[in-house]
Chains A and B, each alone.
Chain A
Amino acid sequence: MLRIRSLTICNFGPYLGEQRIDFYDKDGVFIVFGDNMRGKTTLLNAVRFALFGKILGRGEREIQTEKLLNYRARQNGTKQFSVTISLEKSGDYYEVERTCTAADTPEVEPKIATLLCKNTEPQNQTIAENILAKLLPEKISRFFLFDGELLQQYEELLIDESAVAGGIRDAIESILGVPVLIKAREDLTYLLSEARKAEARAAKQNRATEALAVQFDLINTKLTEAVRERTTLEVEITRLTQQIEEAEDALKKNARAEQVMNQRDSLQKELADLEMQRQTISNEIGVLLARSWHWPLVKGFDNKKHELTERLVELTRSRRENEKRQYLHEISRSFKESGVCPVCGATDRQAVLENELGQELTTVDSDEEDNVRAQLLSLNRVVLDDQGPAAIEKLRQLHRIEMDIQMKRSTVNDLNLQLLNSPEDVIKGDRNRLASLFQSKIAQSENLKKIRKGITDIEDQFNAVQRKIKETGGNNLTDESRRRELIEELKDVFAEAVGRFREDLRMKVERSASELFKRLTTEPEYDHLVINDNYGLQIRHKDGHLIELRSSGAEHIVALSLVGALQANSPLSGPLFIDSPFGRLDEGHVERVLTALPEMAKQVVLFVYRKEMSETLARRVLGNKLVSEFELYRISGIETEIRPVEV
């Protein structure tokens, strides 16, 4: 087990000069109290810098190392800061000192030097890095150095496709030791290839199998090539997964700005649609307006036609009346002249006829009738369309669209203002990069599938040739064939072992996490945790259903349970450095987590502010497991001193 003995920092962040925390090789909990902006996270970063040469900001973003040089030290002309961490593992003592020397100009990278002494013996750079990688591999650092933000990421494990989940899952398998088995399986693949070559060499020396051996060689070369290609692709896919994770992280950092951008982009799409609709409708209106001169005349034309028809009827009637009277006048005139009615031959009804005639003949204007008829005919030839109401409806529609466009434009402008100080290009770049990385990963995964299928086919060919060699070969092949068969069997065993080991581990992690969770949670109805393939944990209620929506506090407790379970099942163990872990928890949960902490790791270093956990509570709950307390004392707004708290 890895233990921390001391941490010494010099001109690092707000810590001017040399300051030190001693852990004295003791087991238990160490608490560093500090208000906001005093340098708790910087202390976590000091440990990270010493072990991995990195400094992380919010969202796991790497920070330029030289920025951590203490301001006052820089003012005094100092260009260097350092962190020294003393560790102990299996009776060996290690001291790692990392120094950063800033360059004269900001464009030039700072110089970072690492000195590692094992049992006071300085080690060369390569050995030093190897030792460090074994003491605490960076890949699993998240389970030893973490804060609330990092705990929050475990929620991603419930999302299968998440790249972050993929990264965490790999890290979990690393801490649990799965890669050891995978590596062994890969080694056996290499050994098998070598055994096959040896078998082929032996076969070549036998006249009966010589030709088969040549074929065997060819297939083996093909197989070696295909396996190499598969490895390259697997490495490439791992690299792509990491890059996807980084790109997702980068996007997360600008999540709010991206949300605004997405909203704006979606509004801009809607605007483009509305503009198209506006264009279409305005064209339709334009077509309708080309005949708009009809609309005001529709009623007028009807009235005119009505008037003219009535006039025509009147004129026709007058003309016919006149014609009738003219006819009667003709009869009367003839009656008068002959004394006999020319129609019925009567001779005594002259007076009756005179009476019938009554009025005098009038003059009828036949030109007017012709004119009216002609006008009516002309008007009837004009067919007025009455598309006015349709056009008005379209105009209303257009008006609504224009209002909508105006409102959306105004919102887009507001959103653009919000984005004024955001790295929009960077976000777009990250987004495009993410999309392209996803595409590449899909393409490479497809290639990998093909190659795997190809390897299976080649292996079938291989097995067929091998069988023939065995059948026709003599005793001198037996040893090589048996060696090869043994390695094949071993390879199968390891292939099976990886799957089983993973499954066993998942079950162990589920069990340990559930036990810890039951101790940490204050909710008695929560029964246990259920693990998925990604090591994501869900809470199962006593009545059997899974809790779908979890509070951020519950999320925190589940994440701590997972970290605790990983510690319990890992072949590696070491000190935990936890930054502000109680911010989201109520007092009941804080007390429970505090109680469980000493069992999660032999050494736990807490960086907390008093509001999330008071020293009274810590002392009461931890009792003699609380080894020592420190206070981050404010000297000024940019300077902090680490002071031990006397209890």
Chain B
Amino acid sequence: MKVNPDRKTIGVSVESERILKLVIEKTYFKEQADVARFAVSTSLSRGLKNLTEENLGTKWNVGTFDPTGEIRTAVEAFHPECTEPYRFMEGLIAIGLRFLEEHIKIHGFVDFELLLAETSQQEIETNRPVDETIVSN
């Protein structure tokens, strides 16, 4: 795949920053970057549409955030059409975080057991990781 010049850093909005802190508070995640990575894979596995946000504050270098390039590979695998995976990843972080916030509102904490069970169930039912649920912003 041909990749256009992509972002060197990953940024989040103020709103996403708030959710990052909330998730840290409600879970045993040690680093906000771990939460953000989890948000990316949650979005990918559920087929969440990425959310474009404005006024992003730089948060991590891509080298820190994805030192092995594995997350980029995952993004590319699920979204072969995407030409700027790290820019795309920012949108996945944003939507993934909102999904997690909703989940916390409902369950009071991050129920990994439920989240993983839901992901598996979707894949069994559809044999593809697509969740068209639109998480309201």
Complex CA–CA separation, A391 to B115 (angstroms): 13
- The reply to whether A303 and B123 contact each other, CB–CB distance below 8 Å, is yes
List of B residues within 8 angstroms of A303 by Cβ: 123, 127-129
- The reply to whether A293 and B71 contact each other, CB–CB distance below 8 Å, is yes
List of B residues within 8 angstroms of A282 by Cβ: 28
List of A residues within 8 angstroms of B27 by Cβ: 289
The segment out of B4-12, B13-21, B35-43, B53-61 that lies at the interface is B35-43
Whether A290 contacts B31 in the complex (CB less than 8 A), given A300-B45, A378-B73, comes out as yes
Complex CA–CA separation, A286 to B31 (angstroms): 9
- The reply to whether B31 and A299 contact each other, CB–CB distance below 8 Å, is no
Whether A293 contacts B38 in the complex (CB less than 8 A), given A286-B28, A286-B29, comes out as yes
Instruction: Give 1 or 0 for each of B94-137: 1 = CB within 8 Å of chain A CB.
Output: 00000000000000000011011001100100011100000000
- The reply to whether A289 and B34 contact each other, CB–CB distance below 8 Å, is yes
- The reply to whether A388 and B129 contact each other, CB–CB distance below 8 Å, is no
- The reply to whether B74 and A382 contact each other, CB–CB distance below 8 Å, is yes
Residue B63 lies at the interface, judged by CB distance under 8 Å to chain A: no
CB < 8 Å neighbour of A301 from B1, B74, B127 = B74
* Chain A positions 123-151 with a Cβ under 8 Å from a chain B Cβ: none
- The reply to whether A379 and B28 contact each other, CB–CB distance below 8 Å, is no
List of A residues within 8 angstroms of B120 by Cβ: 299
List of A residues within 8 angstroms of B116 by Cβ: 295-296, 388, 392
**How many residues belonging to B are interface residues under a CB distance threshold of 8 Å?**
33
Residue A292 lies at the interface, judged by CB distance under 8 Å to chain B: yes
List of A residues within 8 angstroms of B40 by Cβ: 293
Complex CA–CA separation, A388 to B112 (angstroms): 8
- The reply to whether B28 and A285 contact each other, CB–CB distance below 8 Å, is yes
Complex CA–CA separation, A398 to B112 (angstroms): 13
- The reply to whether A296 and B44 contact each other, CB–CB distance below 8 Å, is yes
Complex CA–CA separation, A285 to B46 (angstroms): 23
List of A residues within 8 angstroms of B119 by Cβ: 296, 299-300
Residue B76 lies at the interface, judged by CB distance under 8 Å to chain A: yes
- The reply to whether B76 and A293 contact each other, CB–CB distance below 8 Å, is no
- The reply to whether A378 and B28 contact each other, CB–CB distance below 8 Å, is no
A481 CB to nearest B CB, Å: 89
List of B residues within 8 angstroms of A304 by Cβ: 77-78
List of B residues within 8 angstroms of A293 by Cβ: 34, 37-38, 40-41, 71
List of B residues within 8 angstroms of A295 by Cβ: 41, 112, 116
Instruction: Give 1 or 0 for each of A247-285: 1 = CB within 8 Å of chain B CB.
Output: 000000000000000000000000000000000001001
The CB with the most chain A CB atoms within 10 A, among B44, B77, B119, is that of B77
Q: Summarize B's interface: helix, strand, loop or mixed.
A: helix
- The reply to whether A289 and B29 contact each other, CB–CB distance below 8 Å, is yes
* Chain A positions 11-43 with a Cβ under 8 Å from a chain B Cβ: none
Complex CA–CA separation, A382 to B70 (angstroms): 6
Complex CA–CA separation, A292 to B112 (angstroms): 9
- The reply to whether B38 and A378 contact each other, CB–CB distance below 8 Å, is no
Residue A436 lies at the interface, judged by CB distance under 8 Å to chain B: no
* Chain A positions 354-396 with a Cβ under 8 Å from a chain B Cβ: 371, 374-375, 378-379, 381-382, 388, 391-392, 395
List of A residues within 8 angstroms of B123 by Cβ: 299-300, 303
- The reply to whether B41 and A296 contact each other, CB–CB distance below 8 Å, is yes
- The reply to whether A375 and B77 contact each other, CB–CB distance below 8 Å, is yes
- The reply to whether A296 and B77 contact each other, CB–CB distance below 8 Å, is no
A63 CB to nearest B CB, Å: 58
- The reply to whether A374 and B1 contact each other, CB–CB distance below 8 Å, is yes
A374 CB to nearest B CB, Å: 7
A373 CB to nearest B CB, Å: 12
B17 CB to nearest A CB, Å: 19
- The reply to whether A301 and B71 contact each other, CB–CB distance below 8 Å, is no
List of A residues within 8 angstroms of B29 by Cβ: 286, 289, 292
List of A residues within 8 angstroms of B77 by Cβ: 301, 304, 375, 378-379
Look across to chain A and name the residue whose beta carbon is closest to the beta carbon of B36.
Answer: A293
Complex CA–CA separation, A8 to B34 (angstroms): 88
Complex CA–CA separation, A371 to B2 (angstroms): 10
Given A293-B37, A395-B28, 7 further pairs, Cβ under 8 A: A290-B34, A292-B34, A296-B46, A296-B115, A299-B120, A299-B129, A301-B77
Interchain Cβ contacts under 8 Å between A and B, 10 examples: A292-B29, A293-B34, A293-B40, A294-B41, A297-B45, A299-B129, A303-B127, A378-B76, A378-B77, A382-B74
Residues of B whose CB lies within 8 Å of any CB of A are 1, 27-31, 34, 37-38, 40-42, 44-46, 70-71, 73-74, 76-78, 80, 112-113, 115-116, 119-120, 123, 127-129
